[in-house]
Structures are given as structure tokens and as C-alpha cells.
Amino acid sequence: MLFMSSITKMIKAFAELLQVEIAFFNSQGLLIASTEEYINQKKNRVYSPFFKKQFKENLSFVNDPGNMKMCKGCHFQSNCPSKAEILFKMTENEIHFGFLSFVSFSNEGQKKLIIQQDYYNYWLSLLSDLLISFIGNPKNLTVDFARDKDSIHYILGNNNQLNDLKELLSNVVNSSSSVVITGETGTGKSLLAKLIHEQSIFRKGKFVEINCASIPESLFESELFGYENGAFTGANKNGKAGYFELADRGTLFLDEIGDLPLHLQPKLLKILQDGMVQRLGGTHPQKVNVRIIAATNQSLEKLINEKKFRADLYYRLNVIPIHLPPLRERKDDLEILVPTLIERLQERTGKFIESCSESYLKRLSQYHWPGNIRELENVIEYSMNMEKTYQLTESALPFSFKNFEDSRLSTEIQSNSLKTLEKEGIINALKKYGFDFEGKKLVAEELGISMRTLYRKIEKYSIFIPSS
């Protein structure tokens, strides 16, 4: 926080001295710091492809923002609040630190930037040198701020439930209490868990994620608690740290907690109570300080009634319950989510899409989204790949979308459309990364599922895997 605060103070001091608005972006085009007026006018929305276009230029003068060739595809195209901008690439010894931008939102300021361009270029260079000297390593600008692009999935919007969620998150920043996140598949539970970690007092520690549904039951105990040499046949002679040890002074995220084997639940409960973990085959318990965040798309109360989940563990975990609403309950947020996802997917698709048509957005709002934001992202990515203009239109929607009339679609048709999208997404990812084992690992990572789930879906959809 002190690091970020110092950068912001430096930028504001220069802005006040020069009477110009200033924005600082890292080498990936992520907004790091800026003046308040810049945020008021342009928010924190960044057109990443713009920086890729300008990467070869050390200095760029934008005298007609929104209407120049370099602006093509930007969400501010033809409607940019900036009157003039000077963009400076920050480099030292051929190492790229990011970009600095001097911006004016007034006609008077535009004239100053144009007439006194050499003067402002000098100050841009000076501020760049100061920031580079202070930052030291450009990697310092990628770790703490990368969360913004991910958290945008679920935290955007004005839905009442999300507004309550934002307030809750601000209240638990300094808490170490356990959290249980519930919500349907695709609502962003793992992303929310990362955001909670990154805003917590444990943010300097590791965020360790374990999917309770993806680990074979026979290996679960050794993975969770670790083991010593000789603990079992085939054990590493040096032993192995478990997830609790790896997450010490950080956060352990237990995804799909409802699938945690019943016989391990008392051991997990004891660790939560005592803060002590003992490896398999070990004799000396080790003190750990771990913040637990659990997530599930199942009803834990129902599992308790079915004797599949311990009530005492549930009450120990469920100190701070958080529910993520499904997309069908926050369709008004599509107006915010769709442009954000379009921007986020531009690099992956290689398409500079400006926006979407009203009819396209209307089609999306008529759908009930059983796969939630994950499905929305897949639909938008498909559309961006198919679109031949700079605006998403109905013609670019997946075939299954073109045939439904409204949200009163039968459950069967809704289910089939989701399955078609999911199958297309898996096939496209396999073509992208390859059909071998390593390729499948990358596919599973991109789709946010386990290898076991990927193999199950490949078999379910009869996806052809060519022989190597």
C-alpha cells in the first residue's frame, strides 16, 4: 500500500505543478495510478490493444483522441473525453516499465499540450526517470495489481446483492475469520476468494487453492497435511509439505468443499480449532496460521441432513457466509459486464471490437444463463471470433442463440445450448493448445476445471482425440 501511495503522490505532485492530468500504466496496459480527474473522466477502463500498437513508439502525440487510426476499436472511439494526450514509453536499458500519459480534458489544455509539446515532453521524461528509479523492477507492477482484471468479472454492477457484497468485503479487510462462498457454477467463486485474500491481512502470504473434487480420495490426506519419509510406499524420501504448510501466513482456498471426504472432515476441524498440523508419519505437530476460504455450489445444509457433511465443521467454516447471485438475477449488469469482457477478450481473440449492438445485448438479456458469467464469457469470445465488423451483432452469436425467442425457452433447449457452447469451447481450446497431455493441462487451466472433469467432458461430448 505504501508503494502504491508513493507512486500516486508523485503523479499528483507533477500534475499540480504542470496543470495537466496524468495516468501511469504498467507494460501490460494496466492502470496503476492517475489523477482523480482522469478516473472521473475515463474510469479505470484501458484499451490494451492501444498500448500494443504503440509499443514500438517511444513518444506518441494524440491530437484528436477517439478519431485517429490508433483509436480504432477503443470503447471511447468517436466519443473520447480526452482533448489531447501525449503517451510516453518508459524504458531503461531496454527494459520496459510501462507508459506515462499527459492528458487534457479541456480545449484550453489541448492548446497548451499542442503549443508546448517540447516542454511537456521534457517533464514526461523526467517523471519517467523518477518512477523507474523508485520502482526498481517492473515486476513490482504486475503482482499486486493483476487482480483488477480478474475481480472485474463478479464485482462489477449495481445489483443490490453485489452492492451488499462490496460493503461486506470492506468490513472484513482486517479479519482472519473463515469464509464460505456459495453460488452456482460459473458465478466467480474462486475469483472472489482471490480478491478476499488480496484485500486481507494475509495478502503477503500465498494463496493456495485446492479443488476437493479433483484429488483422488486416496491421496487427499497426504496432499492436504503433507507426509514424512516412509509414511507410505512410494513416499518421497524428503517428505512433502501439505497445503496447510504451503499456505502458512496466507490463505487456503478449499473449492468444492462439499466433496471433502467425510473421514477427513474431523481432521480439518481439529486444525481449524488448534491451528496445528501434523504430517502423515510425523511425530511433531507444526503451528500454522492460515485463513480458510471455502466454496461450494451445493447446499451444505442438505449435505448435513444427508450425513455427508459434519455440522460442527460447517459452523466452524461458515463464520462469514457470502452468496454470489446467478447472472439471471442481475441481467441489468449485462450493460457493464459485456463491454468489460469484450475489452478483456481482445488480446485472446486478436479482434479489436468496439462494442455490441442493442439487438445483440437484447438477445443476451433474454437468455437465462445457466452457466452464469463463465458461459457469458464463452458466448462473447465466440461472437468476437465470428464477428466481421467492429461491433458485435446478432449474426455473430452461436447458432443455438439464434433460434430461441425469449427467456421462456424450455429447459431442454437451454440445456442443449449450454452443452453446445461448452463442447465448442473445449474443442477450440484443444485445437489451440494441442491434444496431448500437456495441451489438455492448459485447456483445463483455461476453462477453470480439473483434468478429471475435462476427461469426463471429452467422453461425455464424444470429442474426437487424434492419435499422437
Residues near 439 by Cβ (< 8 Å), separated by ≥ 6? 430, 433
Instruction: Say how far residue 135 (Cα) sits from the centre of its chain.
Output: 24
Count structural domains, the chain.
Answer: 3
Scored b (16 or more CB within 10 A) or e, 342-372 reads bbbbbeebebbbbbbeeebbebbbebebbbb
Q: Report the pLDDT averaged over residues 72-95.
A: 83
Give the C-alpha separation, 11 to 22, whole Å: 7
Give the model's confidence band at 102: pLDDT under 50 very low, under 70 low, under 90 confident, else very high.
very high
Same domain, yes or no: 153 and 260: yes
Q: Report the pLDDT averaged over residues 210-232.
A: 82
Q: Which domain holds residue 258?
A: 147-323
pLDDT at 75: 64
Give the C-alpha separation, 10 to 158, whole Å: 33
Same domain, yes or no: 370 and 393: yes
> Does any domain span residue 392?
yes
CATH code at position 410: 1.10.8.60
Contact 214, 452 (CB under 8 A): yes
Beta bridge partners, 295, equal: 181
Given the C-alpha cell 493483476, which residue does it identify? 146
Same domain, yes or no: 232 and 338: no
Q: Report the pLDDT averaged over residues 331-342.
A: 86
- Last-in-domain residue among 323, 358, 393: 323
Q: Which of 143, 244, 154 is nearest to 198 (CA)?
A: 143
Q: What share of the chain is helix, strand, coil (3-state, %, to 5)?
A: 50, 15, 35
If you average pLDDT over every residue of the chain, what do you get? 83
Comparing 120-124, 324-328, 353-357, which segment has the lowest mean pLDDT?
353-357
Give the model's confidence band at 77: pLDDT under 50 very low, under 70 low, under 90 confident, else very high.
confident
For 178, 187, 330, 332, 351, the CA distances from 162, given in Å and listed in that order, are 20, 12, 9, 12, 30
Residues near 221 by Cβ (< 8 Å), separated by ≥ 6? 264, 267, 280
Give the model's confidence band at 417: pLDDT under 50 very low, under 70 low, under 90 confident, else very high.
low
Contact 69, 52 (CB under 8 A): no
Same domain, yes or no: 374 and 432: yes
Same domain, yes or no: 203 and 315: yes
Dihedral sign, Cα of residue 379, residue 380, residue 384, residue 389: positive
CATH code at position 184: 3.40.50.300
Helix, strand, or coil (residue 88): strand
Give the C-alpha separation, 6 to 128, whole Å: 14
Q: Which of 234, 235, 154 is nearest to 193 (CA)?
A: 154
> Is the per-residue pLDDT at 104 higher than 90?
yes
Give the model's confidence band at 413: pLDDT under 50 very low, under 70 low, under 90 confident, else very high.
very low
Same domain, yes or no: 165 and 288: yes
Same domain, yes or no: 234 and 309: yes
Strand ranges, E, within 55-191: 59-62, 84-92, 95-104, 179-182
> Does any domain span residue 12?
yes
> Does any domain span residue 77?
yes
Residues near 69 by Cβ (< 8 Å), separated by ≥ 6? none
Q: H or E stretch including 34? A: strand 31-34
Please tell me what DSSP assigns to residue 227: E
> Is the per-residue pLDDT at 149 higher than 50?
no
Same domain, yes or no: 158 and 286: yes
Contact 289, 275 (CB under 8 A): yes
Read off the pLDDT of residues 109-134 as tens digits, 9 standing for 90 and up: 999 999 999 999 999 999 999 999 98
Q: Which three cell numbers stand for residue 56?
A: 514500438
Q: What are phi and psi of 77, to 5 degrees?
A: -60, 130
Q: Which three cell numbers stand for residue 352?
A: 479489436
> Is the per-residue pLDDT at 317 higher than 60?
yes
